[in-house]
Amino acid sequence: MKLLKLVPDHTNIDFMRWRNIAVILSTLLTVASLAYTFYRGLNLGIDFVGGQVVRAEFARPVQIENLRARIDSMGVGEASIQALGNDRTYQIRLPRPSGPETAANQVVSKLRVAIPQQFPGARVDAGESVSGKVSEELASEGAKAIIFAMLGIAIYIWLRFEWQFGVGALLTLAHDVSMTLGFFAFTQLQVDLNVVAAILTIVGYSLNDTVVIYDRIRENLRKYRKMAILPLLNLSLNETLARTVVTSLTVLIALGVLMAIGPEVIFGLAIAIFLGVLIGTYSSIYISAPVLVWLGVTPDSFIRVDEKDDKTTPGAQPA
């Protein structure tokens, strides 16, 4: 049986040749993503802005206009209604009412009673309400978690490798997270707690790739002390390329299936991680590695201080 080799043996791509173009492009895209996110804003779910969502299943097909008219007549605010797969299942989202913290929950109670009354046989399958206070807390906790995760991982990389690698990891993460946010701003897909979980996963996953490449760079720096840094990075990237491609593909296969046929509640989570894997694979090659060149990583970076001393003072005997 002939085995599949997605990356042929002795592949030798000069990745670093395009590093300046790639980095400029990535920087521009990152800045554009952030700017666009600030300009257009994210479509934040009720987890982060408060409000209420009800998911209802009707006995007979219902026109969206009809449903909207009925809900508008209840005087609970302007509903945003979304069909879930068919014309009998709808998700109804309402803005957070002004007033006390309990107001949001009272709206859900009202809908839960009114929908089966107005549409006989209808069933409210899920109801969520989040007050303003809780949503503010969830938003700040989510942001904190992402920042702490990025810093925590960067510090770990710094401890395990060298400071240049830590900086490289942090920049890579900043790139991946910004791009993911930009995607959500562009598509206006809803950002809920699950998406925060997805971003944290991306933070963990993207670094997974970077760590494997860094590990190989470190190994090669020790092995080929005379090699210039650019060919050495190219060598390391090519050596790990097969693994990068295969692993990314397995994760994409698993997530692709989840996106296509998994429960719709976690579609946001699945698509965010799917995208993050793509971005993370790219950035581990074109952000993580070039950063090392600018930060001046050389074979000497991994030689311990006492070894350096031995070299600079030729007369000294090694202990």
Nearer to another protein, 67 or 139 (CB): 139
Binding mask 40-79 toward another protein (x if CB under 8 A, else -) reads ---------------x------------------------
Contact flag: residue 136 with another protein (CB under 8 A): no
In whole angstroms, give the CA distance from residue 207 to residue 200.
11
86-115 binders of another protein (CB under 8 A): 100-102, 104-105, 108-109, 112-113
Nearer to another protein, 112 or 308 (CB): 112
In whole angstroms, give the CA distance from residue 107 to residue 83.
20
Contact flag: residue 11 with another protein (CB under 8 A): no
Contact flag: residue 19 with another protein (CB under 8 A): no
The token pair at 279 is 């971005």
Q: What phi and psi, each to the nearest 5 degrees, are found at residue 12?
A: -140, 85
Contact flag: residue 180 with another protein (CB under 8 A): no
232-291 binders of another protein (CB under 8 A): 239-240, 242-243, 246-247, 249-258, 261-263, 265-266, 269-270, 273
Q: What phi and psi, each to the nearest 5 degrees, are found at residue 61?
A: -55, 140
149-178 binders of another protein (CB under 8 A): 149, 152-153, 156-157, 160
Amino acid at 150: M
Q: Binding residue for another protein (CB under 8 A) from 29, 74, 145, 230?
A: 145
Considering the complex, what minimum distance in angstroms separates the CB of residue 249 from another protein? 7
Contact flag: residue 219 with another protein (CB under 8 A): yes
Instruction: Evaluate whether 160 touches 77 at the Cβ level (below 8 Å).
Output: no
Instruction: Evaluate whether 63 touches 124 at the Cβ level (below 8 Å).
Output: no
In whole angstroms, give the CA distance from residue 233 to residue 258.
35
CA 37 to chain CA centroid, Å, is 14
Q: How big is the chain, counted in residues?
A: 319
